[in-house]
Structure 1
Amino acid sequence: MQNLLFILNDAPYGSEKCFNALRLALNLKEQFDEDVMVRLFMMSDAVTAALPKQQPVEGYDIQQTLEILVQQGAEVKLCKTCTDARGISELPLIEGVAIGTLIELSQWTMQADKVLTF
């Protein structure tokens, strides 16, 4: 089994980096299901991607993509320092998304076969 860690840094809307990372993670999970473990750790402005009920004007929906990934077994965590800095630590998150720590990111990094950053 391949253990893949995606580290996302960019805001969910404005550029397509966040969405492209999620698309790749989703495609890998759909193609290789049992052969791949997907973990996503969101930092900086990427943490805002986990806020529900956003209404993007672009043609893609970050919430829906995250929900599908979670349903397919992907682990998704947000940097606590980053959520605190943005005042969103106490806000509701997309179901299945949790707040994590740098210690968890360090552990995930050491366990990963590949680390992809966006």
Structure 2
Amino acid sequence: MSQQILIIASGAPYGSESLFNALRLGLALQEEGASLRLFLLSDAVSAAIATQAPAEGYHLRQMLDILLVQGAEVRLCQSCCDARGIGALPLIEGIRIDHLPTLAQWTLAADKVLTF
């Protein structure tokens, strides 16, 4: 049985490499057979906007797409999205806005919780 891993990330998508490193680790964990859940808080929620188009460097949209295709569950904090006006924007397919009780349930169900 695979381990259930929860990654909680709150770093800005392109303001630092915190979210990038969280997604890199998520991809590596899935390659090792882990079952992954990713909950984005604070500025990290803006990584789920479908229309992002970075000029150069890493592309978080592509990384999120790969995680989703490989079976990861990805959720965004409702109040964080509301505070940033993201709820009305198109999101990457497969990513949902959710509430803190879901994060609490995921935390209790996880074998390991990692924060970025």
TM-score bracket for the superposition, by shorter chain length: over 0.9
Which residue of structure 2 lines up, in the alignment, with residue 42 of structure 1?
Answer: 40
TM-score normalised to structure 2 length: 0.96
CA contact (8 A) 2:5 2:110 kept: yes
Alignment of 1:1-118 (within 5 A): 1-32=2-33, 36-118=34-116
Q: SS of the counterpart of 1:92?
A: coil
TM-score normalised to structure 1 length: 0.94
Tell me the CA shift for residue 11 of structure 1.
0.8
Q: Which runs of 5+ in 2 are unaligned?
A: none
Identity fraction in percent: 59
Q: Which runs of 5+ in 1 are unaligned?
A: none
For 1:6 and 1:96, the matched residues in 2 are separated by 17
Report runs of 4+ in structure 1 exceeding 4 Å deviation: none
For 2:21 and 2:55, the matched residues in 1 are separated by 17
